[in-house]
């Protein structure tokens, strides 16, 4: 995983830092927060990636479990913990997205972007790691987390605007 973190750090420094810094402190702070957040999501859901690349086709790809809330219905595993973690994991995405995309973000776009981000993770998990499985319940709970994050953003928008104004 150290290699993955190093790749993300180099990508940030060589590609994004200068570009975002040129747009001002607010853009640099908000975009860097989103970048770090996405890096953390990748850390917990997909990594190691770079080391796994040579082996991605060496195990069978398991398609997504399409039985919504099957763990809940069947009482398998620690389903409450999994649901809570999936919701909480995507709340920062719903909160930060309107800050990154400023004027163009509304609830429907947050739902769409959160869904696509979650779907990408779910589809890549079994490809990168043969022990992981994609699950439609994760997709739904992750999207719910993005919605909650956006609603929290809307509630605290005046405070967020004041905090960001201090960096102008």
Alpha helices in 101-135 (DSSP H): 107-128
Of 17, 53, 14, residue with least CA distance to 35: 17
Reading the block at residue 52, the tokens are 């796994």
- Please write the tens of the pLDDT for every residue from 11-62: 999 999 999 999 999 999 999 999 999 999 999 998 888 888 888 878 788 8
- Please write the tens of the pLDDT for every residue from 83-111: 999 999 999 999 999 999 877 899 999 99
Would the pLDDT of 116 be above 80?
yes
Q: Residue 60 has what pLDDT? A: 82
CA 43 to CA 93: how far, in whole Å?
A: 15
Residue 97 and residue 107 in contact, taking contact as beta carbons nearer than 8 Å: no
Residues of the chain above pLDDT 90, percent = 68
Domain residues of the chain, as ranges?
Answer: 2-165
The residues near 40 (Cβ < 8 Å, ≥ 6 apart) are: none
Q: Residue 64 has what pLDDT? A: 82
- Phi then psi for residue 135, to 5 deg, are -140, 130
Q: Residue 128 has what pLDDT? A: 86
What is the mean pLDDT of the segment spanning 152-160? 96
Reading the block at residue 131, the tokens are 């022990």
Reading the block at residue 137, the tokens are 């319940």
Q: Residue 24 has what pLDDT? A: 94
Of 33, 45, 32, 34, residue with least CA distance to 4: 45
Residue 149 and residue 94 in contact, taking contact as beta carbons nearer than 8 Å: yes
Reading the block at residue 96, the tokens are 């930060």
Q: Residue 103 has what pLDDT? A: 78
- How does residue 78 score in pLDDT terms, banded at 50, 70 and 90? confident
Buried-exposed string 74-107: b where 16+ CB fall within 10 A, e elsewhere: eeeeebeebbebbbebbbbbbbbbbbbeeeebee
């Amino acid at each position: 995983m150290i290699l993955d973190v190093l790749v993300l750090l180099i990508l940030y420094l060589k590609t994004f830092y200068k570009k975002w810094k040129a747009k001002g402190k607010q853009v640099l702070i908000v975009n860097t927060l989103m970048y770090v957040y996405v890096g953390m999501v990748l850390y917990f859901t997909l990594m190691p990636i770079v080391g796994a690349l040579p082996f991605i086709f060496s195990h069978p790809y398991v398609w997504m479990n399409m039985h919504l809330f099957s763990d809940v219905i069947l009482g398998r595993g620690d389903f409450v913990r999994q649901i809570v973690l999936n919701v909480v994991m995507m709340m920062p995405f719903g909160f930060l997205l309107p800050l990154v995309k400023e004027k163009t973000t509304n609830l429907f776009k947050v739902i769409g972007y959160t869904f696509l981000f979650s779907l990408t993770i779910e589809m890549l998990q079994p490809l990168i790691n043969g022990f992981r499985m994609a699950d439609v319940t994760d997709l739904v709970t992750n999207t719910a987390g993005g919605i909650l994050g956006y609603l929290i953003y809307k509630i605290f928008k005046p405070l967020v605007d004041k905090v960001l104004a201090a960096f102008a």
